[in-house]
Every structure is written in structure tokens, then in C-alpha cells.
Structure 1
Amino acid sequence: MQQPGGENKQPARRRIRPWLTHTAAATVGLLIGALAASVDRSSSHDSATPTATVTATRTQTTAPSPATAPARSQQAGRVKAGQIPGDGVFLIGRDIEPGTYRSEGPQGDPITYCNWARLSGTSGESKDVISSDSSKGAETVTIAATDKAFRSNSCQTRKKTN
């Protein structure tokens, strides 16, 4: 519509500030993205996407208390000369003889580590440990005549090599 004076005037348009429109657009975009992500996440349970499962196993070995040490040493009747069978605490000179012994490693699945300790006593305290180790494969240990006991856990039978 033409106004008197010959000029075509349009009604004054109120200008919206650009920062407001940009903020509104960004907010709408974020909401759409969040909605799409949640829908995608809920449907991913049926997908063939492989997932990794990590299992950590912690083995804790406890040495016998003084009251149980003599009972465990009664393994002397079960121990063949020159061998240390599997698990237990063995008294040096009574159950086993000092020397060098070899094990082929852990007893097998699911046990993956074999561990041992040379002991100066049977109190069950960490101060009794002369030396100790764990392995996944074959191992050799030398037990001294001055050791009081030897502890073996999750290992195959040890055989004397000397």
C-alpha cells in the first residue's frame, strides 16, 4: 500500500538481537543431539558390536598360624622323596630336604600363576618370608638348609634337580 508522499513505507520491523537467535538455535541443536544419542544408545543393546570383558583375579595367600603349622607338617608321610607336591607349607628337614627344585608351572586353567616362598618361620607374618616369586611358566627354586619352611601355592609338583 502506498502512502501519501509517494513512498512505499513498510511497517517498522523490530530487529531481534543476533545473539538471542544463535543461542536459541544452539540449544535446539543440543537437545536434538542428546535425544538422538539416547535413542541410539538404547537400541545398541541388540547390535552385534563386540564388547571387551576384563577380569582381574587377585590371589591372596595366607601363611598358617603357629597353631596350624605342626598339622600341615604332617605331610611328611604323603611327600615322596625328592618332590614337593602342589600346595602347602613344608618344613625343611622334616617334610622336604634342602636343594634345587623345578616345577613346570601353574596347575592349569583357570589358575594362571604359581607362587612360592622360602620361610624363616611359620608364624604367618611377612617378616618370615626370605624370598618369594610368582610365575606363569616353569620355574626353579633353591631351598637352603637354613630355611625353616617352604610354601607353594597353585604349582605343579616340584622335582628335585640336584
Structure 2
Amino acid sequence: MTNPTPNPPQHGHGPQGGWGPTPPAPQAPPNLPVRNRQRIKYGATAAVALFVGIGIGAAGGEPASGETSDTKAGPRPTVTVTETAPGEAAPAPTVTETVTAQPKKAEPVGPATTFSGEGEYLVGEDIKPGTYKTAGPEGEFGCYWERAKDASGEFGSIIANNNLEGPGRVTLNKGEYFKTNRCQEWKRVS
């Protein structure tokens, strides 16, 4: 588009130091249209999202919900050891040995030999018979324990009971119920 009014002559210092015409000032490039700026912005956003996705994929992550991983029973780790035999300039053969680790056998679960100072336990099923000790009360109100012939909670079912202000011991026989309140952990000593 041409300017309808002619540019007035510019005056300034010429090449010999005198006054003469001055060349016009360079014009700034026109601003990019809004649509081009939007394309650049969306393209940059897409590139960043692509790189983030590649990084997440390379990291391995866990399977998403609904996806399943290998659900066979028992761990089966495999260790692969690769050794390279020493050689000359030619490539040496590679020896690969695969060793499968065996999982440790779990000990059979049975009655406990240590237990919380709060609860009711069946001797022989929940806890092992024997003599147990505690360091005493968990707080300031004392430690209560009770041996009972059944779990009825009736006064007549109590074999023995005590309130401890300090450490204490009790011997428990198979088939009895042992109730403990506000005590520190009980540990079997024999």
C-alpha cells in the first residue's frame, strides 16, 4: 500500500559532512498475525507434552487401573549374569548364565510369644502357653490382667487377676482366656 502523501525531504549530514538527503529509517517487520502466534503457542505446548509423555514412558511407571500385570503365584526373580571372556582385537564370545532365585520358605504361623497389653487372648490359639512378663502400666492408671476359664466375662469365670503398679509376671495355661488392659507389651520368658 502506498502512502497518499509524499514523504518530506529529509535533511542531515551527508557523506562529505554537509547537509543532504538522509535515507529513510528501516521499518520494523509487521507483527505476526494473531493466528500465527496461536499456532506457535499450541505447537510449543504440544512439544512440551510430547517430551513429558516420553519421559514418563521411559521411567516405566505402574500399570494403570484396569490393566493387569503378571498374576502368577509366588515371586520368581531371575538374575542374568553376563561375562565377557578376555580376547584380542576380535570380539570375544559372550557367556550368559541364568540363575533363578528361590523364595524363602515362610515359617508356619502359630500362637504368638509377644502381644499387646490391650486385648483378650485364647491361650494355645492366640498366644503360646507359658510364663509372660510386662514392664507394667502403659499410663498412670495401672495395668490390669485377668486369667479366665471362658470368655463369658462373668465374675465366676475368673481364675486369677491383678492390678499392677510396676512390672509383673503371669503363667498362662492352654485353654484359658487372658485379658489385659492398660499394660505394656507382654513377652514370653519360659
TM-score for both structures, normalised by structure 1: 0.47
Bigger Rg over Cα: 2
Q: Identify the structure with the greater strand proportion.
A: 2
Q: Identify the structure with the greater helix proportion.
A: 1
Higher relative contact order (CA 8 A, sep 6+): 1
TM-score for both structures, normalised by structure 2: 0.40
